């Protein structure tokens, strides 16, 4: 097992660092409660220890973090992911259900235990199907005694942004992946929140400089963010310090983070709006009366008015593509392993709309992928054993890996890789089509590095990273709707090293939640331990539509079904049968 930073630093006796080698422990009793953060509707939300909003996790670089989870939801299983943390040596603590653990069933307990040696702004959230937008998400901040910008600010302020739904995810998902929604229109949120509320007052003092940690922990909407009449200086993206870069407005997709320095004015004569404005391009139809904005204020003087935000005529956000990492890490220019993912949306035989990489819509394997790695010996290096619906790729130790993602869809999608920050070496404009390796202009010498990046409509991105972190890491769109509809791939990095690090070391409470849920913990994706290449019985998607069957056909069919349903219910539902037959 890799030594923790603490034991690693001891020999070079950095006293100040040793002082920070603490264990921070959180006890999270996860259960339903009620909240009304947008003032429009009280709804059930998922809280921690009876409270909502749920608490941030705060640690210092080098610390061990222990989160003792008790699932008191009663009717849903859960899991936690620590977004952006590399979990180097602890891939079993990464959180996604059916990937690195089993779901924590109601009534069960489970401990996450890992060290953090990365500074910056992160967040934690449920990685159980569709669950975090019900409220189970909060910041995760890692302080750093060696923060290169620490002399440039007086205080730090965490500021989260999110979208907010009045419906519960389980219900919304049923409507989303449904024959009655053949175009895959995503539910549109009812409101935007800033720090899980609206009209937030942020007290500031003249002349001081603040480090704002902006975190979008929403399910769907990206936010345009600005501080009126105050310039931002970006110094961190997704946990990576960057060369300070000025920005008037940021575009923060779901799951992205920015730290920005904002210097307060020298007098207290006025207060200023701080605005998060959801990008409505993401919404197929904008419901009448939706306020896409959430407003807060830099409050210099409580007795002075809080002015309405100004109308922004044209959104011209700063372009993150040109950010340069503070350590100036050079372009990884020799690619060992290139992976192309062509993504699209389409219908399957059940008439619902799904998302695909290379024609495959992700379906969770029966055995969590990590447990397949640990139980298949030398065959763990063969991607076939991980199933035909998991988009699995096996990466060799220390390879430079390139992911080419071609977006064959008119939507914007923020892609996230677990276990790494990647270099964004190419990012096209809208409608650029597929990446053409024979038509490449110069790549950046020191590309932006982050863990979540937006691919533009019908455009492409090219990402690179070094496979120096053995583990099982998902690569997926961070729009929670698209996770549910299958826009996920699995990177199985140095599986033989994972076996060396973790064989026999999966904690008993991790295996216990599998037993409690009758989830097998050995064998291939189908749970076959004898013939690892026999995937019979594996989980599959509903199957493809008969050739020549177009979405238009489905729309027509739905309408005829609905019409029949209105007239004579039984016949209406029989009318749906033809496209369901042959499933399985
Ligand atoms: C679980 O319980 C909560 C709180 O009682 C309820 O709001 C929610 O609908 C339930 N979820 C399911 C899937 O039954
Ligand atoms: C966390 O892991 C460390 C290292 O394996 C171990 O020493 C410690 O006892 C664990 N703590 C808990 C609460 O499980
Ligand atoms: C926003 O919430 C975080 C906790 O998530 C808290 O630390 C911070 O102070 C809040 N910010 C403001 C401006 O109230
Ligand atoms: C505030 O005053 C100081 C000292 O006079 C000056 O250097 C600084 O630029 C001023 N700041 C702003 C935001 O105007
Ligand atoms: C939301 O903010 C944008 C940008 O300032 C503005 O154009 C729009 O009118 C606002 N919408 C509402 C409903 O306030
Ligand atoms: C790998 O699979 C092959 C074919 O099923 C089998 O013969 C071999 O024993 C397996 N190797 C290991 C180490 O499990
Ligand atoms: C090459 O790429 C540029 C954009 O980078 C594009 O404008 C041009 O049409 C492409 N050329 C060909 C031959 O595809
Ligand atoms: C993981 O740790 C190893 C050393 O144990 C290091 O070489 C590697 O760069 C680390 N990977 C990441 C992604 O931090
Ligand atoms: Cu997406």
Domains in the chain, ordered, with CATH? 1-148 (2.60.40.420), 149-325 (2.60.40.420), 337-516 (2.60.40.420)
Other C-beta atoms within 10 Å of 74: how many?
9
Where does ligand 2 bind, in terms of residues with CB under 6 Å?
Answer: 66, 111, 113
Nearest of 170, 563, 561, 570 to residue 351 by alpha carbon? 561
Ligand nearest to the CA of 291: 5
Question: What phi and psi, each to the nearest 5 degrees, are found at residue 141?
Answer: -115, 130
Question: What phi and psi, each to the nearest 5 degrees, are found at residue 191?
Answer: -160, 170
Q: Which residues surround ligand 9, an ion (CB under 5 A)?
A: 413, 477, 479, 482
Nearest of 247, 263, 258, 264 to residue 299 by alpha carbon? 264
Nearest of 549, 552, 539, 540 to residue 578 by alpha carbon? 549
Residue written as token pair 């109601």: 106
pLDDT tens for each residue of 359-384: 999 999 999 999 999 999 999 999 99
Chain-centroid distance of CA 73 in Å reads 22
Other C-beta atoms within 10 Å of 40: how many?
13
Ligand nearest to the CA of 482: 9
CA gap 214, 159 in Å, rounded: 5
Residue 118 sits at the vertex; the CA angle it makes with 162 and 141, to the nearest 5 degrees, is 35
Residue 389 sits at the vertex; the CA angle it makes with 384 and 395, to the nearest 5 degrees, is 50
Ligand 1 centroid – CA 390 distance (Å): 29
State mean pLDDT over 492-520. 98
DSSP, residue by residue, 113-132:
EEE----EEEEEEE-STT-G
Low-confidence winner among 97-111, 228-242, 311-325 (lowest mean pLDDT): 311-325
Ligand nearest to the CA of 168: 1
Nearest of 478, 331, 320, 489 to residue 405 by alpha carbon? 489
The yes-or-no verdict on residue 192 having pLDDT over 90 is yes
Ligand 5 centroid – CA 46 distance (Å): 30
The pLDDT score that the predictor gives to residue 423 is: 98
Q: Is 55 in the pocket of ligand 3 (CB under 6 A)?
A: no
Question: What phi and psi, each to the nearest 5 degrees, are found at residue 452?
Answer: -140, 125
pLDDT tens for each residue of 104-158: 999 999 999 999 999 999 999 999 999 999 999 999 999 999 999 999 999 999 9
Percent of the chain with pLDDT over 70: 89
> Per this entry, what is the length of the chain?
584
What residue owns the CA closest to ligand 3's atom 3?
158
Q: Report which ligand 7 atom has the smallest distance to the Cα of 433.
A: 14
Three-state secondary structure call for residue 369 = helix
What residue owns the CA closest to ligand 7's atom 11?
439
CA distances from 467 to 56, 420, 454, 471 (A): 30, 9, 22, 10
Six token digits for residue 532 = 């690892």
3-state DSSP helix/strand/coil percent for the chain, to nearest 5? 15, 35, 50
Preceding omega of 206 cis (within 30 degrees of 0) = no
Determine the residue of 31, 76, 129 to mutate for testing ligand 1's pocket, defined as the one with the most ligand atoms within 8 A of the Cβ atom: 76
Other C-beta atoms within 10 Å of 583: how many?
12
CA gap 546, 348 in Å, rounded: 9
- Strands 449-450, 353-357: parallel, antiparallel or unpaired by DSSP? unpaired
Six token digits for residue 563 = 């019409």
Ligand 8 centroid – CA 400 distance (Å): 14
CA gap 295, 336 in Å, rounded: 47
Low-confidence winner among 98-112, 318-332, 442-456, 537-551 (lowest mean pLDDT): 537-551
pLDDT tens for each residue of 508-552: 999 999 999 999 999 999 999 999 999 999 999 988 766 655 554
Ligand 6 centroid – CA 336 distance (Å): 27
Q: Report which ligand 3 atom has the smallest distance to the Cα of 139.
A: 5
The pLDDT score that the predictor gives to residue 313 is: 66
Determine the residue of 82, 465, 468 to mutate for testing ligand 8's pocket, defined as the one with the most ligand atoms within 8 A of the Cβ atom: 468
What residue owns the CA closest to ligand 7's atom 10?
439
Q: Is 439 in the pocket of ligand 7 (CB under 6 A)?
A: yes
């Amino acid at each position: 097992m890799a030594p923790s930073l603490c034991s690693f630093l001891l020999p070079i006796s950095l006293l100040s660092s040793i002082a920070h080698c603490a264990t921070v422990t959180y006890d999270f009793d996860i259960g339903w409660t009620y909240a009304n953060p947008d003032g429009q509707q009280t709804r059930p939300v998922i809280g921690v220890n009876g409270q909502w909003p749920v608490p941030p996790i705060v640690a210092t670089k080098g610390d061990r973090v222990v989160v003792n989870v008790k699932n008191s939801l009663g009717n849903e299983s859960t899991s936690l992911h620590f977004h952006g943390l590399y979990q180097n040596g602890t891939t079993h603590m990464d959180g996604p259900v059916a990937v690195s653990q089993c779901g924590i069933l109601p009534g069960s307990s489970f401990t996450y235990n890992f060290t953090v040696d990365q500074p910056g702004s992160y967040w934690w959230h449920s990685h159980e199907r569709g669950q975090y937008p019900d409220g189970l998400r909060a910041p995760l901040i890692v302080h750093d005694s060696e923060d290169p910008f620490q002399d440039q600010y007086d205080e730090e302020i965490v500021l989260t942004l999110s979208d907010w739904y009045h419906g519960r995810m389980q219900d919304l998902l049923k409507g989303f992946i449904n024959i009655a929604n053949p175009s895959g229109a995503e539910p549109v949120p009812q409101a935007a929140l800033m720090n899980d509320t609206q009209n937030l007052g942020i007290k500031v003092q003249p002349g001081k400089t603040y480090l704002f940690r902006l975190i979008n922990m929403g399910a769907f909407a990206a936010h345009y963010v600005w501080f009126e009449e105050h310039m931002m200086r970006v110094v961190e993206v997704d946990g990576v310090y960057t060369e300070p870069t000025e920005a008037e407005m940021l575009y923060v997709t779901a799951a992205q983070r920015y730290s920005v320095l904002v210097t307060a004015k020298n007098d207290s004569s006025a207060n200023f709006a701080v605005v998060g404005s959801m990008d409505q391009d993401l919404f197929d139809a904008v419901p009448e009366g939706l306020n896409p904005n959430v407003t807060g204020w830099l409050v210099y003087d409580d007795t002075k008015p809080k002015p309405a935000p100004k109308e922004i005529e044209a959104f011209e956000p700063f372009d993150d593509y040109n950010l340069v990492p503070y350590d100036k890490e050079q372009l990884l220019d020799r690619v060992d392993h290139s992976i192309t993912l062509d993504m699209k949306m389409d219908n399957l035989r059940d008439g619902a709309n799904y998302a695909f990489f290379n024609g495959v819509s992700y379906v969770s394997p029966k055995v969590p992928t990590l447990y397949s790695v640990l139980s298949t010996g030398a065959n763990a290096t063969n991607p076939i054993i991980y199933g035909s619906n998991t988009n699995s790729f096996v990466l060799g130790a220390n390879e430079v890996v390139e992911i080419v993602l071609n977006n064959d869809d008119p939507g914007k999608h923020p892609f996230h890789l677990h276990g790494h920050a990647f270099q964004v070496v190419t990012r096209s404009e809208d409608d650029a089509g597929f990446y053409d390796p024979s038509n490449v202009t110069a790549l950046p010498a020191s590309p932006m590095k982050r863990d979540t990046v937006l691919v533009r409509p019908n455009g492409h991105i090219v990402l690179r990273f070094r496979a120096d972190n053995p583990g099982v890491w998902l690569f997926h769109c961070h729009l929670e709707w698209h996770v549910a509809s299958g826009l996920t791939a699995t990177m199985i990095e140095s599986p033989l090293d994972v076996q060396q690090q973790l064989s026999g070391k999966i904690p008993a409470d991790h295996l216990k939640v599998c037993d409690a849920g009758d989830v097998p913990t050995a064998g291939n994706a189908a749970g076959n331990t004898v013939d690892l290449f026999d995937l019979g019985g594996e989980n599959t998607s509903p199957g493809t539509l008969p050739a020549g069957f177009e979405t238009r056909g489905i729309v027509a069919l739905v309408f005829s079904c609905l019409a029949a349903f209105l007239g004579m219910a039984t016949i209406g539902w029989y009318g749906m049968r033809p496209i369901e037959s042959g499933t399985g």
